[in-house]
Amino acid sequence: MRRLRPAADVVEPAFRLRARALGSDDRDRDAGRIVVSVQMHTTILRAAIATMIAGCSVAAPRDPLGLGTLASAAGESGDGGADEGDGGGTGASAAADGSTTASLDDAGEGSSAAADDGAVGSDTAGSDGGPPPQGTVDAGAFASIQDAIDSLEGIGGAVYVPAGQWSVPEKLRVHSGITLFGAGMDVTVIRLADGAPDDDLLSNDSSSGLQDIVVRDLTLQGRGAGAGDCRHGLKLAKVERVTVIAVAARDHCADGFYLGYKHVDGVPIGVADIRLSGIVATGNGRNGLSLVQGHDVLVDGGSFSGNNVGELVSAIDLEPDPYPDGNVSGNRIIGNTISDNANNGLQLWADGGAIVADNVACNNTITGNAGTGISDHQADDDVFVGNVLAGNGAQADYDGSAHVGDAFAEACGLPLPGLPPPPPLP
C-alpha cells in the first residue's frame, strides 16, 4: 500500500500546524475541535482507501498448460467443419448402443486433484431451449471418464482428461455438444484396460452423439496391430459437425481413424462436416484413416506413417462401403505428411457401382510408401494440386477424369479457416 502513504502524511502535518498555532489558553478549548478534525480526516481517508480497493481488478492467470497455443486463429464457425458443401443432416436415430463406464488404472495414473463434481454453469440457454451448456468438468473428479461425459449428456460442455495414462474397461462414447480434451498429444493417453473386450476405443454415441462434438489434445493408444479382434482408435458414424484436433491414434489393430456409417431404414448414413486437423496415425494394422461414407470432410496438417502393418490398403483410404450404395464425395485432403507406409499413401478407390467424386488433394507430401503414392481408381473428377511425390513404389496413378495441376488450385479452398481454442480448464 505504498501509494497510500502520501495521503496520510498530508493529514497529520495539518493537525500539527493547527495545534502549534493555538495559544496555551486556547488549546483546552479547541481540543475537541482538533479531535473532530482528525476523525473527519481519518473517515475521509478510509473511504478513499475502500474506493481504491474496490476499483482494483485481478488479471486472469494465463493458461498454465499452454493449451491455447494450438489455436491458429480465432473466429472459426462453431460447426468446425469444412467451409464448402451443403452440410446435409443425418438421418433418424438408430437404437442406442447403451451407456458404458470407464475407470482409472490401478496405479492411479491420470488422476488429478479433486474438483467440484458440478460443472461451471453458463447463463446462456441451450440452442434447443433446454438447460444451458455447462463449463468444463475434470474427469479426475468422477469415478470414470465415461461418468464425466455422461454428466453432460443433453446439456453440453467440456470434459478435461488431465495428463497421465488412463485405462478404460469399455469403449468411450461421446454425446452431442460435448468436447473431450486432454493436456496434449502423448501427454494424456487413453487405452483399453487389460482384460477389456476388443472394441473401438472412442466413438460418438449412435443415439445421442449425432452432432457438434470436439475431441482434441490427447492420444488413443491401441493394443498392437495383431492384437485380438481388429477395431479402430476413433470411430465416427452417422454424425455431423465434428472437429478433431491434435489427436494421435497409434497401434490399433484396424484403423487409427474410421469415418463410417449406420443404416437407417436400409440407407447408409455416413458423416458430414468433419474436420480432422493435426492428427497423427502411426503403426495401425490397416489404414491410418478410412473414409467409407461421407462428404465435406477436411483432413489437414496430419501425419500418417508406418500403417498397413497387417493389411495392405493405404495410409489414407477414401473407399466407399457398402457397395453399391457407398458415396465418398466432396472431401479435402490438405497439407498432410504421408510417409513410409507399407502400401499406398493416398488412395481414392471406387468399385462395384460406388461413387468417389469431386474430392480434392492439395499440398500433401507423400514419400517412401511401398505402394503407389496417389492411387485414384475409377473415381470421377477428383482434383490433385501441389502434392510432392518421391520415393514411393510408384508415384501416381490418376483416373482419366482427374484434374491435376495448379490450374485447379481454387478447389483447394485455401487459406483454411482457423481452429477454435480449447475450452478453459476446470
Spatial distance between the Cα atoms of 172 and 153, rounded to a whole number of angstroms: 13
User: Where do the structural domains in the chain lie, given as residue ranges?
Assistant: 2-55, 67-412
- Which of 358, 366, 367 has its CA nearest to residue 402? 358
CA distances from 382 to 148, 350, 355, 364, 402 (A): 42, 12, 11, 15, 5
C-alpha cell at 47: 473511504
Spatial distance between the Cα atoms of 362 and 408, rounded to a whole number of angstroms: 10
CA distances from 46 to 43, 52, 282 (A): 5, 10, 66
The number of angstroms, rounded, from the C-alpha of 354 to the middle of its chain's C-alpha atoms is: 32
Spatial distance between the Cα atoms of 45 and 4, rounded to a whole number of angstroms: 9
For the 67-412 domain, the top CATH level (class) is mainly beta
Tell me whether strands 257-260 and 327-329 are parallel, antiparallel or unpaired.
unpaired
SS3 string, the chain, reads CHHHHHHHHHHHHHHHHHHHHCCHHHHHHHHHHHHHHHHHHHHHHHHHHHHHHHHCCCCCCCCCCCHHHHCCCCCCCCCCCCCCCCCCCCCCCCCCCCCCCCCCCCCCCCCCCCCCCCCCCCCCCCCCCCCCCCCEEEHHHCCCHHHHHHCCCCCCEEEEECCEEEEECCCEEECCCEEEEECCCCCEEEEECCCCCCCCCEEECCCCCCEEEEEEEEEEECCCCCCCCCCCCEEEECEEEEEEEEEEEECCCCCCEEEECEEECCEEECEEEEEEECCEEECCCCCCEEECCEEEEEEECCEEECCCCCCCCEEEEECCCCCCCCEEECCEEECCEEECCCCEEEEEECCCCCEEECCEEECCEEECCCCEEEEEECCECCEEECCEEECCCEEEECCCCCEECHHHHHHHCCCCCCCCCCCCCC
Spatial distance between the Cα atoms of 191 and 193, rounded to a whole number of angstroms: 6
Q: Which residues pair with 298 in a beta bridge?
A: 275, 332
Q: Which residues pair with 228 in a beta bridge?
A: none
Positive or negative: CA dihedral 350, 354, 360, 365: negative
- pLDDT at position 133 is 62
pLDDT means per 10 residues, the chain with 426 residues, are 32 33 38 38 44 38 32 31 29 30 34 32 34 81 97 96 97 97 98 93 90 97 77 96 98 96 89 98 96 97 96 95 86 98 96 92 98 95 98 96 97 97 95
Spatial distance between the Cα atoms of 149 and 156, rounded to a whole number of angstroms: 9
Whole-structure pTM value: 0.71
